[in-house]
Amino acid sequence: MRINLSNLGKRYNYEWIFRNLTYTFESGTSYAVLGHNGSGKSTLLTIIAGYNLHSEGQIHYTLADTAIAPEKAYQHLSLTAPYLELVEELSLQEMIGFHTRFKPLRKNLSTQNLIERLGLQKSKHKFVKDFSSGMKQRLKLGLAIYSDTPLLLLDEPTTNLDQEGIAWYQEHIFLNRENRLIVVGSNIEHEYGFCDQQLHITDFHPLARR
């Protein structure tokens, strides 16, 4: 997967969040999008995911030298973020089964395999609404990391995780990096420490010094 951003810009009403962003994301590389809270990290990730529209510029997606239409990009990516919700009326087992109807799991993992990797075997039949915030975040991360997608977008991935959960995230993201394009939106080093490249979104703020 390759993503080319050309003079990308986003504004809300009359306020520009970023402008003139030209950058290329390449498969097999992990990128950290860095910046303070409210700087536009989440906005950029949702634009790349196709969940948010940019105001100017262009995005081009390529997979195996074949161009992908922007409206089809969602088929090839996984996104997790604090503002995304789970279907809380389902049990853990049902939630994974529902998710895999749309995004199969990597390496032919079964639902039971994923539950084991999540470390949530005792909660297999528990409703998601009864999970702690940390359990919900681990589930969201597991569904994203273990989906069979070439593009993985992680926005503030360790939100609500304790030290054990952070260690789990670091272990499983490391095990699932190969041959993928990973983009992490963060301002916390333990979330993006594994990344090969860094993009500082504040460099593209309209008032940023060049």
* Tokens 């010094």 sit on residue: 209
pLDDT value at 206 more than 90: no
195 neighbors 32 (Cβ within 8 angstroms) = yes
Distance CA 1, CA 156 (A): 22
Tell me the average pLDDT across 11-19. 93
115 neighbors 102 (Cβ within 8 angstroms) = no
Residue 3's contacts (CB-CB under 8 Å, 6 or more residues apart) are 24, 25, 48, 59, 60, 61, 62, 151, 181
pLDDT in tens, 94-134: 999 999 999 999 989 999 999 999 999 999 999 999 999 99
Tell me the average pLDDT across 156-174. 97
Using alpha carbons, list the distances in angstroms from residue 175 to 66, 80, 97: 27, 17, 23
pLDDT band per the 50, 70, 90 thresholds, residue 186: very high
142 neighbors 172 (Cβ within 8 angstroms) = yes
Tell me the average pLDDT across 5-26. 96
pLDDT value at 209 more than 50: no
pLDDT value at 210 more than 60: no
Tell me the average pLDDT across 10-21. 94
Q: Please name every residue paired with 15 in a beta bridge, in sequence order, or none if there are none.
A: 12
Tokens of 61: 């997606």
CATH T-level fold of 2-204: Rossmann fold (3.40.50)
